[in-house]
Structure 1
Amino acid sequence: MQQILRPACCTHQHHLNYRKEGIHMATFCPTARVEKLLLASDRSAFNEGAIREALSLAKQCSSSLTVMSVIEVNPEFDAMAPQIVEKIDAEVREHLEAIKQRAKKAGVDCETVVRRGDEAFALIAQEAEERKTTMIIMGRRGRTGLSRLMMGSVTARVIGQAPCNVLVVPRAAQFSCKKILVATDGSRYGDAAVSEAMGIAKRCGSELTILSVVPSESVAAMDIVHSELRKDLIVEKELKIAEMAVKEAKDAAAKEGITVSGLVLGGKPSEGILEAAKEKKADLIILGTLGKTGMDRLLMGSVTERVIVTAECAVLAVKTAA
């Protein structure tokens, strides 16, 4: 990985056109909204990290917290085994009550909700919409490869359908809000991620690193149609765009009194983000993503999803309207 981002959707050339339109730093808001949190949790041990960090974030940011569990409905099974259904229902409510007691002990305002249905991700997104939730928090299964997370994962589907930002917390992650890494490419998706990062950093007193990764694969793809000189010019232009995006974001954060540093890398965006997060000991990675996209578009190997499935720390997917 060379010291020289593109988080999900666009190329740096597209970003240059975007910047020329004059829509950039003016969209930044230094007060990210985390007043209403929705924790989607089941009885799995993989959710412990999400539970722990939801309570921590709610306490640090004086947020209200709703804890939700979904009981999957199967009419045939329910009719054949009502006693098992009752047992599951009791266990879910016991699970929620245990979280509520932990919240009470931590001094966090907490409400619990049980919903029934055959599509957990849709119910979670609907609950968030109805409650005007500002952030959904979810756990993540063990790192078993990209395909398993992407194929039918409730977490991935929630990211695609939710009306708000989604925080994904691995089981062992320690989210203290002390060190945040945000990836930007200068697009409106990157700007939205930086805006959210600035708000959280200012509110929680975090150290903020602003990263841009110039993707090496885009340069390699030019071998057939461009001369070496042409490639060098394109790389130089992309580097300048990345440096400009980082500098503008860094200056904006500094004006808000945030402790901030900037970093530009070259290579695969997902690898660059993960390496930088490890080097900076980040406990939160923030990335931009589209608004409601549906599974087909969400699961096309985007940088955001690749980072979520492999990151050792929590990842916040910041939603932007399509």
Structure 2
Amino acid sequence: MSAAPRRVLLATDHSDESHAAGRTLAALPFPSPPEVTLLHALAVPTVSTGTGPRPIPDAAIARMQSAAEEAQAAEAGPLEAAGLTVSSEIRRGKPADTIVAAAAEAHADLVVLGAVGQSALERLLLGSVSDRVAGSVGSSCLVVRPTGWPDEGRPPRLLIAVDETPASARAAACLAALRWPAGTTAALVSVMQTFDTFVPDFTNTLPTLWDELRVSSERRLAEAAAPFEAAGLEVTTDLQTAAHVGETLCRRARVHKADFVAVGDHGGSAAMKFLLGSTSRYVLRHSASSVWICRDAAG
């Protein structure tokens, strides 16, 4: 079965960032057009009174609903012009919770949304809708940031994180399944983690093991690169040595000027995520590229 998504949920708040996410989705070279659900979460505000918060008047809610419907129709147009089948849905509720629930109900293979322009520090301290959705949704998730593609009319630049896990293989398969245009570049990046924090001078303390790890890393890079090379892309393999994987991926994404960074979500327990974080979450919060977090169909 192809790793390309067949059911996509595009979450929009009708902002410039959401419009950019829609343009990116419309430009992605899917092997066959996916079904797209265009979702808007209508967060109905409340007003404070002496007796506590109360909903705003029904007439105001009706105006919000009408404005949302008009904006939905405008956003659906370019997607349909690109050959995508689009259905529109407006739900009332908190945006992140609403998006996650709708994605599960639709059995979405991919959730696409724009990242609001926060700094990395703001995303770290406050979080964001995109951060919460990407961390909670069971499907793959593409968080779009402005990189110049597709608006500049050039081929895209891809970076795919490669390691020894099935999640990494999913990330490579996910992007390799698309029919990228001539001139597309694909950088396959693997980071050999030194663990110097735990074992001082790790690489020299265990030289034989380190050499074996290097050989296996080079082999995985070659295997991950093969489908991109077969598709005629301009491929480079990039083996790095560093203590912090996520930080290194973000740095290499800047070097390669990547439009997309694809990472596999390794999962793990909530306790492990709390203690150690995750590479995918670090990249999502710190990269200036669009971030494609790849998961299998079961999440």
Range into which the TM-score falls when normalised by the shorter chain: 0.7 to 0.9
Deviation, 1:147, is 5.1
**Paired amino acid for 2:102:** E
Task: State the distance in 2 between where 1:204 and 1:295 align.
Answer: 42
Task: State the distance in 2 between where 1:227 and 1:105 align.
Answer: 55
Matches within 5 A, 1:206-245: 206-216=184-194, 218-223=195-200, 229-245=204-220
Paired residue secondary structure (2:149):
coil
The 1:296/1:137 distance shift into structure 2, 3 A limit, reads farther
Paired residue secondary structure (2:295):
strand
The 1:111/1:33 distance shift into structure 2, 3 A limit, reads same
Equivalent residues of 1:58, 1:64 under 8 A apart? no
Equivalent residues of 1:32, 1:195 under 8 A apart? yes
Equivalent residue, structure 1, for 2:17: 46
Equivalent residue, structure 1, for 2:50: none
Partner of residue 64 from structure 1, selected from 24, 35, 38: 35
**Paired amino acid for 2:145:** P
Equivalent residues of 2:203, 2:210 under 8 A apart? no
**Paired amino acid for 1:67:** L
Matches within 5 A, 1:122-271: 122-146=97-121, 148-149=123-124, 151-175=126-150, 178-200=156-178, 202=179, 206-216=184-194, 218-223=195-200, 229-251=204-226, 253-254=228-229, 259-267=234-242, 268-271=244-247
Q: Deviations over 1:256-312 (max 9, x none)?
A: 665533110122322322232233332211100045977993795322122222323
Task: State the distance in 2 between where 1:227 and 1:244 align.
Answer: 22
Equivalent residues of 1:41, 1:68 under 8 A apart? yes
Paired residue secondary structure (1:272):
helix
The 1:269/1:297 distance shift into structure 2, 3 A limit, reads closer
The 1:151/1:231 distance shift into structure 2, 3 A limit, reads farther
Partner of residue 117 from structure 1, selected from 93, 106, 111: 93
What is the TM-score normalised by the length of structure 1?
0.76
The 1:75/1:276 distance shift into structure 2, 3 A limit, reads closer
User: Which consecutive residues of structure 1, in runs of 5 or more, have no partner in the other structure?
Assistant: 1-28
What is the TM-score normalised by the length of structure 2?
0.81
User: Which consecutive residues of structure 2, in runs of 5 or more, have no partner in the other structure?
Assistant: 48-52
Identity %: 20
Equivalent residue, structure 1, for 2:279: 303
**Paired amino acid for 1:40:** A
Task: State the distance in 1 between where 2:46 and 2:104 align.
Answer: 27
The 1:242/1:297 distance shift into structure 2, 3 A limit, reads same
Equivalent residues of 1:161, 1:291 under 8 A apart? no
Which one has more relative contact order, counting CA pairs under 8 Å at least 6 apart?
A: 1
Aligned structure 1 segments of 4 or more residues deviating by more than 6 angstroms: 292-296
Equivalent residues of 1:210, 1:261 under 8 A apart? yes
Task: State the distance in 1 between where 2:227 and 2:30 align.
Answer: 27
Equivalent residue, structure 2, for 1:3: none
The 1:170/1:235 distance shift into structure 2, 3 A limit, reads same
Q: How many residues align?
A: 288
Larger helix proportion of the pair: 1
Deviation, 1:99, is 0.4
Deviation, 1:72, is 2.0
Deviation, 1:96, is 0.8
Task: State the distance in 2 between where 1:53 and 1:191 align.
Answer: 24
